[in-house]
Amino acid sequence: MKDIIEKILADSIKVKEDFIRKNISKLIFFAEKVALAFTSDCKLLICGNGGSAADAQHIAAEFINRYRLERPPLPALALTTDSSIITSIGNDYSFNDIFSKQVKAFGMKGDVLLAISTSGNSKNVLSAVRDACNQGLYTVGFSGGDGGKLFELADLALITESHSTARIQEAHILAGHILCHLVDYILFQRQLTVK
């Protein structure tokens, strides 16, 4: 069993390192887009299914409460949390509409949508991205494998080149933490380090 643990650890480290190194410039650009949205009275919307739904909520909590730095709450909204909205849309319309209807209700030009799908092909995530683009939101996709359809739809796509859902999700939450750190730095610390 020790060998199993060491193999999982080595795989996880490699996938995360490859993903982050390949996407450094995209992560910086993404952080700048989110920081600009926050300083322009706009917000970050986040969606995903399953473990990616949990990541959406995790990232939103880091912005609203705090990441590491004591600072004011920042406007991030996970579209995965309201069970009444999700179940009513899923029942009355389709599960494919659970995020897109919320994007239509809450999204405005200048907002950013982070769409997370390990396959890049989740229909409800793709629908949200399409509607976000139509409403003037900037869209970012976190996906895995070959990026799926999300790679083609999102304004900015960050792809974890793995086919293991667990490794992809580990890379995505690391990228989420890096995003939080960079946004905090841009908004609250950069001026402290420049003399």
Mean pLDDT over residues 135-163, rounded? 97
CA atoms of 123 and 78, how far apart (whole Å): 17
Mean pLDDT over residues 17-43, rounded? 98
Q: How confident is the model at residue 194 (pLDDT cuts 50, 70, 90)?
A: very low
Mean pLDDT over residues 166-185, rounded? 97
CATH number at residue 30: 3.40.50.10490
> Residues near 132 by Cβ (< 8 Å), separated by ≥ 6?
45, 103, 107, 111, 113, 115, 139
Q: Are 74 and 64 in contact (CB under 8 A)?
A: yes
85-121 confidence digits (pLDDT tens):
999 999 999 999 999 999 999 999 999 999 999 999 9
Query: Could you give the percent of the chain with pLDDT greater than 90?
Result: 95
Q: How confident is the model at residue 55 (pLDDT cuts 50, 70, 90)?
A: very high
CA atoms of 78 and 89, how far apart (whole Å): 16
Q: Considering its fold, how many domains does the chain have in total?
A: 1
Tell me the residue range of the domain where 86 lies: 2-193
Encoding tokens for residue 72?
A: 């004011």
Q: 138-153 in b/e burial notation, b at 16+ Cβ within 10 A? A: bbbbbbbbebbbbbeb
Query: Could you give the percent of the chain with pLDDT greater than 70?
Result: 97
Instruction: Answer whether 0.85 is exceeded by the pTM.
Output: yes
13-28 confidence digits (pLDDT tens):
999 999 999 999 999 9
Q: How confident is the model at residue 191 (pLDDT cuts 50, 70, 90)?
A: low
- 192 has pLDDT over 90: no
Q: How confident is the model at residue 195 (pLDDT cuts 50, 70, 90)?
A: very low
What are the distances in angstroms from CA 165 to CA 15, 29, 32, 50, 152?
A: 11, 25, 28, 11, 20
The tokens 């950013």 sit on which residue? 112
